[in-house]
Structure 1
């Protein structure tokens, strides 16, 4: 996994509540066995019509948000099934940070395991960011080490919380396997003691 320390990006404002994992990555695209390649199917039925034509009105198709690494969402983001393909699609598309007032628990934990920082912010803060971000592209700097979000336009700093374990994993770019390798010497010593 790639480490995540600081992201400065235009924010993509997805003003929808209760976005479920089937909307994030629809079931017909789950046949791949790799973790990559799902980005092109992110929000597929919202981005394209039945004939495959781009829906100009959908926020991901707005050129002002091209290359965005921060997805701004509303409450209960990632609800529905527990498919890990949802964070795979979000990451493969290019988003490294998600801001929302609440998440489905399994989706929230899957984000950390795949190198995405899901930040919970109060509903009134999300509402304000969504409103401002829809009027004009909004640039934010997310600093994981300081646990702050800086608004470039106003200079406002928004603090956020994160548990120390998840923070360390993201800062170092570790998943559970990488973390296990940090204890390789101790594991080898234990195995040697058991063998003797």
Structure 2
């Protein structure tokens, strides 16, 4: 029986090594195609790599390709996996919010922007332009929801007042973060 276990172990290690090598080749091809804006072709290679192993980089890159091709539901699915793998990275929430906005899931968009701000505050790497972009997205979403208010009483089972409250909270958090970033910028220079 020991010979069977040894044979099984050898076969498994050879198979997994070749699978990982093929996966990394597909990942590299996917990256190169993504960088040259050949998103459809990149997805084919990234799909092959995803079938071999789980790697959050694969899902993140594939989600970005899906976004570029306006396949937002698929992008959201991949960003869900990336966020599950690394829930503290604020940029993933922002990227998913972009797709949620595209499918008119304003509640989901605002919740993701809220999470983006929350984890941004805890992050040591400051992206100066991101806060302004998030703030603009929140104001745009608020204006859009305001126009829809007369026709719709709730958005995806969330009341209008809850959404407005969440937007207000997000904008207040951004105002609190901005002075902190200004202080950091002066100490960095």
Q: Same fold (TM over 0.5)?
A: no
Bigger Cα Rg: 2
Structure with higher helix content: 2
TM-score calculated relative to the size of structure 2: 0.29
TM-score calculated relative to the size of structure 1: 0.28
Structure with higher strand content: 1
